[in-house]
Amino acid sequence: MATKKTSLTKHPLKILFVSSEVEGFAKTGGLADVAKSLPAALKKMGHDVRIVMPFYQTINGKDNAVAILSTELFVEPQPFAVSYQVMQLDEGNVPVYALDAPQYYDRPELYAENNQAYADNGERFTFLSAASLDLCEKLGFQPDVIHCNDWHTGLIPFLLKTRYAESDFFAKSKSVITIHNAVFKGVFNYDQYSLIPELIQRRYINAEMDPSHISMLKAGVAYADKVNAVSPNYASELLTHLGSHGMEADFQNRAKDLYGIINGCDYDDWNPETDAHIKQKFKANKVSLARGKKACRRDLQKQVNLPELDVPVYGMVCRLTEQKGLHYLIPVLEDFLLNDVQVVIVGTGDPTLASALRGISEQHSDKFAFVETYSNPLAHCVEAGVDFFMMPSEFEPCGLNQMYSLAYGTLPIVRSVGGLKDTVIDFDQTPLVATGFIYDAPTPEALLIKLQRSLLLYCQRPQEFKRLQQNAMACKFNWAESAEQYLDMYLGGEQSLVNEICNDKIGA
C-alpha cells in the first residue's frame, strides 16, 4: 500500500473541490473554514486543486471576478437548458470557480431568509452538482478526485455513476464525500430534481427517504468511492442511530470505506502572535500571555459593554441552534452568574434561543453580554479575551472553535461528543497533560458542575490554570497532517483507525 502511495503521489493529482461555501467568499459556518484551508494545504503539497462554489449575490470579491466560461447545462432527455457562467474569483493560490446562475444564487442569503429555507433549495443545489461536472468537461479539467462536501454536493457521486458512467472524460475520476454535519440531509420532493432525470428514472437509488422524497446526502454516501467524517470519533458515531440522525444503515453499508479525518486549524488566521483583529498580540510565554490576555479582555469588555473587571470571563461564538447546546446552558446561566464571573455569547440563528439569551442579558447586564451578530473580528476578540470557551454541544462533528481556543490559551469546556472528544484533554482525568474540561451527560446540571469546576481551578489554583494554558497553546492541529490523511484516502491507501472502530461496532 505504501508503495502505491509513493508512486502515485509522484504525479500531482487533479482535485475538484466542491463546496457550497468558502471562507473569504461566503460563509455561514465551519464548512467554509475547511473549504478554504484543506484545498490550500493540498495545493501546498503540489496537487492541482480547483474549488467550485455558487456565485452568490453576497459573495466577496465579486467586482474582481472574471467570466471564463459562458455556457448552458443541457439536461437530456428534458427539453430545456440552464444558462450559466463560470466566474473565476481573485484568490490566493487555489483557483475558485463560482457558478453564476442568477435564478438560483442572486439572492440576499445563502440558504434561507427570516429563518425560512428557500423553497427551491433542492433545485439550487442539484444545479451545483450537475454544473460542477459539466464545467470540468468544458474547461478541460479532468479530475482524478472530485471532493464533495455535505448534502449540497451529494448528487455528484450519483451522476458520476449514472450520467457519466460511460464517459471517457471521467473514466478515471473518483469521488469522495466529506460529512461535516449529517443532521442536514438535503431532503426534497422529486419535483426539485428535474435537472437530474436519472434520479427520477432510477427510483432504486438508495437515496429515498420515502416514496416521494430523495436525500442528497444519502445519495452521496451510497455512491461516493470513499466517505469521511471530520473526526475519527464522529465517524464512529455515524454508525449509530443517535450519532447519524437515523442514517446508521447508510453508513454501516459503507463502513469499509468510511474514514475519520480530523480538521486542522488554520494558524495563518488563528494565531495570537499575528492576529490583526486583537488588541494586543501575545505569545505562549507566561509574561506575554498574561499581559496579552489582560489587554484583550479589557478590549472585549469595552466592545460588549461589560465592566472592565479582573474576573474570569467565559465565552461562546456559534450559530444559535440546538446542536450547539444552548438549551443546556440557558437553564443554568443565571445560577452560574451568581459567581464573580462574566459571560459573553456572540451568535445568530434560532429566534427562540436568541430571545432567551436577550432576556437574561437584560436582567444581568453587568455580567452577561449577548451580542446578536455575525462578526469574524469579534469572534477573534472573544477567543483572545476570554479565559474559558464553552461548547456544550448536543453533537459536534469536529468543532473548530475549541481548536481556536487552544491556540489562544483559552481553555475549552466541552461535551464529550464528536471531534470535541478527539481534541480536548480533560483536567479531571489527566491533570498533567490536560488542555480543558470534558463532561458526558447531556444535561444543564452536568454543564453547570463543569463550569463551577473550571472556576475553582481558576480561583484556587492559578498556577495550575496557567499550566493548562501552556498545554493548550502547545497543541497543534496542522492542516498539512490532515491533508496527508486525505491524500491516503484519495489513493485508497491504508485503512484509517476508524475502520477498526467501525468493525467493532458493527461486528464485522
Ligand X SMILES: Nc1ncnc2c1ncn2[C@@H]1O[C@H](COP(=O)(O)OP(=O)(O)O[C@H]2O[C@H](CO)[C@@H](O)[C@H](O)[C@H]2O)[C@@H](O)[C@H]1O
Binding-site residues sit at 27
Contact pick of 379, 407, 451, 472 for ligand X (by CB under 6 A): 379
Residue list for the binding site for ADP-alpha-D-glucose? 27
Contact pick of 376, 429, 430, 452 for ligand X (by CB under 6 A): 376
By the 10 Å C-beta count (0-12 exposed, 13-18 middle, 19+ buried), 484 is classed as middle
* Interface region with ligand X, contact rule CB under 6 A, candidates 29-37, 41-49, 89-97, 118-126: 29-37
Closest residue by beta carbon to ligand X: 29
Nearer to ligand X, 160 or 390 (CB): 390
Radius of gyration of the chain (CA): 23
Query: Is residue 422 within the footprint of ligand X (CB under 6 A)?
Result: no
Nearer to ligand X, 47 or 180 (CB): 180
Nearer to ligand X, 103 or 352 (CB): 352
Query: Is residue 499 within the footprint of ligand X (CB under 6 A)?
Result: no
Q: Which single residue is written with the C-alpha cell 481534541? A: 423
- To the nearest whole angstrom, how small is the minimum distance from the Cβ of residue 178 to ligand X? 8
Nearer to ligand X, 396 or 426 (CB): 396
Contact pick of 298, 319, 327, 467 for ligand X (by CB under 6 A): 319
Query: Is residue 29 within the footprint of ligand X (CB under 6 A)?
Result: yes
Whether the upstream peptide bond of residue 232 has omega within 30° of 0, thus cis, is no
**How many residues make up the chain in this entry?**
508
Whether 147 contacts 15, CB under 8 Å = yes
Whether 299 contacts 279, CB under 8 Å = yes
Task: Dig out the grid coordinates for 227 from the structure.
Answer: 466517505
* Interface region with ligand X, contact rule CB under 6 A, candidates 215-223, 281-289, 303-311, 398-406: 398-406
Query: Is residue 412 within the footprint of ligand X (CB under 6 A)?
Result: no
Nearer to ligand X, 181 or 233 (CB): 181
CA distances from 310 to 21, 313, 370 (A): 39, 9, 19
Whether 267 contacts 407, CB under 8 Å = yes
Nearest-angstrom CA–CA distance, 124 and 102:
10
Nearer to ligand X, 12 or 29 (CB): 29
Query: Is residue 400 within the footprint of ligand X (CB under 6 A)?
Result: yes
Nearer to ligand X, 274 or 285 (CB): 274
Contact pick of 14, 15, 18, 33 for ligand X (by CB under 6 A): 33
Query: Is residue 272 within the footprint of ligand X (CB under 6 A)?
Result: no
Q: Which amino acid is at 90?
A: D
The neighbour count for residue 274, using CB atoms within 10 Å, is: 11
* Interface region with ligand X, contact rule CB under 6 A, candidates 23-31, 60-68, 83-91, 427-435: 23-31
Site string for ligand X, 175-194 (x = CB under 6 A): -----xx-------------
Whether 375 contacts 383, CB under 8 Å = no
Q: Is the dihedral of CA 361, 384, 263, 97 positive or negative?
A: positive
* Helical H segments across 90-178, by residue range: 102-105, 121-139, 155-161
Q: Which residues contact 10 (CB under 8 A, 6 or more apart)?
A: none
- To the nearest whole angstrom, how small is the minimum distance from the Cβ of residue 213 to ligand X? 23
Contact pick of 263, 303, 405, 471 for ligand X (by CB under 6 A): 263
DSSP tag of 390: E
Whether 125 contacts 216, CB under 8 Å = yes
The neighbour count for residue 297, using CB atoms within 10 Å, is: 24
Contact pick of 154, 325, 397, 493 for ligand X (by CB under 6 A): 397
Contact pick of 375, 416, 495, 503 for ligand X (by CB under 6 A): 375
By the 10 Å C-beta count (0-12 exposed, 13-18 middle, 19+ buried), 212 is classed as exposed
Query: Is residue 348 within the footprint of ligand X (CB under 6 A)?
Result: yes
The residues that touch ligand X, with contacts defined as CB under 6 A, are: 29-31, 33-34, 180-181, 230, 263, 317-319, 346-348, 374-376, 379, 396-401
